[in-house]
Amino acid sequence: MRHNSPATALARGTGQAVAKAILLGEHTVVHGTPAIAIPLPALPVRAVARPAAGTEAGASGSFGFVAGAAAVAGDDRSGPRVAVEEALRRWGRGAETVEVVVYCDIPLARGLGSSAACAGAAVRAVADLYGRDLDPGELYDLVQCGEQVAHGRASGIDASAVLASGPIRFQSGSARPMPVGLDAALVIADTGVSGSTQQAVADVRRRLAADPRAARRLLNRAAALIDTGADALAAGQTPTLGSTMLEFQDLLGELGVSTPHIDTLVAAALAAGAHGAKLTGAGLGGCVLALTDTHAAAAVSAALRRAGAVQTWTVRTADLRAGALSLSASTPERGIPS
Ligand code: PMV
């Protein structure tokens, strides 16, 4: 329901976005290669915006912030707050103050796009509060303003994927739907370790800058792997996609963003029958993504937990293809306040 009168105490707006996983192309996408990502609707974020007065902060999994003219100077400049303040400024509402409460079911700093999803849900909630229709380009731009704070220099893949309705191929700021002809499963395993995207992106940038010719060779290799992976995903060639993921994991290791814990989880997934596995997102912790036949998904998921994953989720690629994404979690899902 739309609330066009934010001056009333009862006015509020709501917005949603979802988690994402990068199948291939993290880090190299910052330097111009394509990347493939999927939205994960069973890990949602919901935001509620009100004109400044009394927040709901405190519920499990939630955080709140005040954005706009009366926000406390020096207060936390989080990505979602930056995105909302940019929206207020662009909409000629820079003199106003809003309170936003974000209910986030996405584990933070695990490579699943929590910062972009929180910013997307928050901006959508503030737009709803003011009865504004947001076009996708404007929403993407606003989320990207927040992402530049969260990532240092963000490629835009997170901002695209957390707002997308299906798998995307992303390159240099634009996304297009990615065809999926695969009948397999993706198991996402949480290392339980927070990875700093900003640090990982900065480390990779330094490493590439140190040897530009080697960097060019590595980026060409990455682009070729992503093409191979995209073809395999569309044509339903699970073993080819799996081996491509493994090669991309090697490349991410060369970039210095894998860890012994991630390598252990990758090895455990392979030993349990996965076709391939790699880190997903920025690395230095975060999550591992394993590709497996659907009948082996439970065994791969159990092996990952035995090897130290704190939680796992399974996505069926058939659901990606149908555009009706679903996810089964190894841990009970947290409730989302309605
Ligand atoms: O770890 P996440 O979810 O923030 O993913 C970051 C993806 C990177 O390629 C490492 C950075 C970027 O902006 O593309």
The model's pLDDT over 92-109, given as tens digits with 9 standing for 90+, comes to 998 889 999 999 989 988
User: Ligand 1, closest atom to CA 25?
Assistant: 9
Burial letters 122-159, b for 16+ CB under 10 A, else e: bbbbbbbbbebebeeebbbbbbbbbbebbbbebbbbbb
pLDDT of residue 165: 86
Query: Which residues are registered as beta bridge partners of 44?
Result: 18
Distance 26 CA to ligand 1 centre (A): 6
Over 50: is that where the pLDDT of 329 sits? no
DSSP states along 235-273: HT-HHHHHHHHHHHHHHHHHTT---HHHHHHHHHHHHTT
User: Ligand 1, closest atom to CA 113?
Assistant: 3
Token pair recorded at residue 162: 């957390």
Are 13 and 119 a contacting pair, CB within 8 Å? Answer: no
Predicted confidence band of residue 75 (pLDDT cuts 50, 70, 90): low
With CA atoms as reference, report the closest residue to 101 among 143, 52, 63, 50: 63
With CA atoms as reference, report the closest residue to 220 among 47, 330, 228: 228
Note the pLDDT tens digit of each residue in 141-162.
Answer: 999 999 988 777 889 999 999 9
Least confident of 5-9, 47-51, 283-287: 5-9
CA distance 204 to 255: 6
Over 80: is that where the pLDDT of 328 sits? no
- Mutational test site, ligand 1, from 18, 28, 157, 226, max ligand atoms within 8 Å of CB: 157
More reliable by pLDDT, 205 or 338: 205
With CA atoms as reference, report the closest residue to 142 among 96, 85, 102: 85
Over 70: is that where the pLDDT of 288 sits? yes
Distance 25 CA to ligand 1 centre (A): 10
Distance 244 CA to ligand 1 centre (A): 19
Predicted confidence band of residue 57 (pLDDT cuts 50, 70, 90): very low
Ligand 1, atom 3, residue with closest C-alpha: 111
- Entry pTM: 0.89
User: Ligand 1, closest atom to CA 204?
Assistant: 10
Give, as one character, the DSSP assignment of residue 282: S
Distance 42 CA to ligand 1 centre (A): 20
Q: Across residues 294-301, what is the average pLDDT? A: 97
CA distance 124 to 7: 18
CA distance 321 to 165: 11
Spatial neighbors of 71 by CB under 8 A, at least 6 apart, are 65, 81, 85, 97
Token pair recorded at residue 279: 């880190």
Q: Across residues 303-312, what is the average pLDDT? A: 97
Distance 113 CA to ligand 1 centre (A): 8
Distance 115 CA to ligand 1 centre (A): 10
With CA atoms as reference, report the closest residue to 283 among 166, 210, 193: 193
pLDDT of residue 73: 55
How far are the Cα atoms of 17, 83, 166, 191, 261 from residue 146, in angstroms, in the given order? 14, 5, 23, 25, 30
pLDDT of residue 223: 98
Distance 53 CA to ligand 1 centre (A): 34
Distance 11 CA to ligand 1 centre (A): 35
User: Ligand 1, closest atom to CA 27?
Assistant: 9
Note the pLDDT tens digit of each residue in 200-241.
Answer: 999 999 999 999 999 999 999 999 999 999 999 999 999 999
Distance 203 CA to ligand 1 centre (A): 13
pLDDT of residue 13: 95
Q: Where does ligand 1 bind, in terms of residues with CB under 6 Å?
A: 26-27, 29-30, 111-113, 151, 154-155, 157-158, 197, 200-201, 281-282, 286
Ligand 1, atom 14, residue with closest C-alpha: 155
Ligand 1, atom 5, residue with closest C-alpha: 281
User: Ligand 1, closest atom to CA 115?
Assistant: 4
pLDDT of residue 42: 79
Least confident of 104-108, 234-238, 264-268, 272-276: 104-108
Name the percent of the chain lying above pLDDT 70: 86
User: Ligand 1, closest atom to CA 30?
Assistant: 14
Q: Across residues 176-205, what is the average pLDDT? A: 94
Provide the mean pLDDT of the chain. Answer: 88
Q: Across residues 46-73, what is the average pLDDT? A: 68
Residues 97, 101, 320, 248: what is their CA dihedral angle, to the nearest 10 degrees? 90
pLDDT of residue 72: 58
Are 147 and 281 a contacting pair, CB within 8 Å? Answer: no
pLDDT of residue 260: 98
The Cα diameter of the chain in Å comes to: 60
